[in-house]
């Protein structure tokens, strides 16, 4: 029986993997499913976790987000979320089939009764286990545990070019990762589609129009604290 722990790198899967190693030690196989669009700090986080767990986090990578967009001639959206299926779910299912019999450990908390996490038990020879539900761990437990272990989760653990992103996350991408922003704009211009859904808010839908707003000094509310903090740091350095 193989024991497979899928690590998205978020707070829940991180806490689950570390705690499992402490209280239910086994020869775990730790895996992740990168899309090639994660921020550098997310890659560093997976490497750090591998060091803490004493076992490398194995990347299962079928393709990259940019290649997938070109192949499908479409930008993923909430109605057509093929990116998750092709880059994460299907590669993980193929991996489980290759290592059966296996137990797949899933980082869903006790206070997430309605949350689904993929029914991998449909794969013959695979059993799903939800340790945090067994432990009755809530969000409060997860956060406390990570603080105790001195683990800081990256601000962004998902793709940098994601249609689910909030306005402040698009702003930070424009500000901090201009090369990634340029690639997102390139996709929009080539395909005549947008990452953002029209009518979602009062901001422009196209990234080029959004960038124009940023350049005029219009900053999303959630990102203003970053700007204030940066200004305060400059004052201190002076």
Domains contained in the chain, CATH given:
2-149 (3.40.50.620), 167-237 (no CATH)
Residue 114 DSSP symbol? T
> What are the DSSP E strand ranges found in the chain?
2-6, 28-32, 58-59, 102-105, 126-129
**Angle at CA 117, nearest 5°, toward 114 and 120?**
130
Closest CA relative to residue 188, chosen from 211, 171, 167, 166: 211
CA distance 78 to 163: 7
With the CA atoms of 153, 213, 205 and 209 taken in that order, what torsion angle do they form, in degrees rounded to the nearest 10?
Answer: -120
CB distance 169 to 221 below 8 Å: no
Pair of tokens at residue 39: 């921020």
- Among left, alpha and beta (phi > 0; psi -120 to 50; other), residue 71 is alpha
CB distance 69 to 93 below 8 Å: no
Q: What is the pLDDT of residue 235?
A: 39
Q: What is the pLDDT of residue 118?
A: 63
Q: What is the pLDDT of residue 169?
A: 96
Closest CA relative to residue 35, chosen from 107, 94, 73, 90: 90
Angle of helix 178-191 relative to helix 207-215, nearest 10 degrees? 140
CA distance 185 to 195: 9
The pair phi, psi for residue 121, each rounded to 5°, is -70, -15
pLDDT tens, position by position, for the chain (238 residues)?
999 999 999 999 999 999 999 999 999 999 999 999 999 999 999 999 999 999 999 999 999 999 999 999 999 998 899 999 999 999 999 999 999 999 999 999 999 977 766 667 788 999 999 999 999 999 999 999 999 999 999 999 999 999 999 999 999 999 999 999 999 999 999 999 999 998 888 999 999 999 999 999 999 998 987 654 443 434 344 4
C-alpha 225, offset from chain centre: 23
Residue 127 DSSP symbol? E
Whether the full predicted model's pTM is greater than 0.75, yes or no, is yes
Pair of tokens at residue 180: 């990634």
Q: What is the pLDDT of residue 3?
A: 98
Using alpha carbons only, how large is the chain's radius of gyration in Å?
20
Count of other CB atoms within 10 angstroms of residue 179: 6
């Amino acid at each position: 029986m193989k024991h497979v722990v899928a690590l998205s790198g978020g707070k829940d899967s991180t806490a689950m993997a570390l705690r499992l190693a402490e209280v239910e030690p086994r020869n775990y196989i730790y895996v992740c499913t990168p899309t090639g669009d994660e921020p550098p700090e997310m890659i560093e986080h997976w490497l750090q976790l591998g060091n803490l767990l004493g076992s490398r986090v194995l990347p299962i990578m079928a393709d990259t987000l940019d290649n997938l967009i070109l192949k499908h001639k479409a930008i993923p959206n909430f109605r057509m979320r093929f990116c998750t299926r092709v880059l994460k779910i299907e590669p993980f299912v193929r991996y489980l089939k290759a290592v059966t019999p296996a137990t797949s450990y899933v980082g869903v908390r006790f206070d997430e009764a309605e949350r689904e996490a993929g029914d991998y038990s449909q794969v013959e020879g695979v059993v799903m286990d939800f340790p945090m539900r067994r432990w009755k761990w809530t969000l409060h437990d997860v956060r406390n545990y990570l603080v105790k272990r001195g683990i800081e989760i990256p601000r962004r653990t998902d793709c940098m070019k994601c249609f689910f992103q909030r306005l402040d996350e698009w702003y930070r991408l424009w500000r901090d990762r201009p090369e990634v922003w340029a690639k997102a704009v390139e996709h929009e211009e080539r395909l005549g589609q947008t990452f953002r859904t029209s009518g979602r808010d009062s901001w422009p839908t196209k990234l080029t129009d959004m960038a124009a707003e940023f350049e005029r000094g219009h900053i999303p509310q959630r990102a203003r604290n970053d700007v204030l903090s940066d200004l305060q740091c400059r004052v201190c350095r002076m």
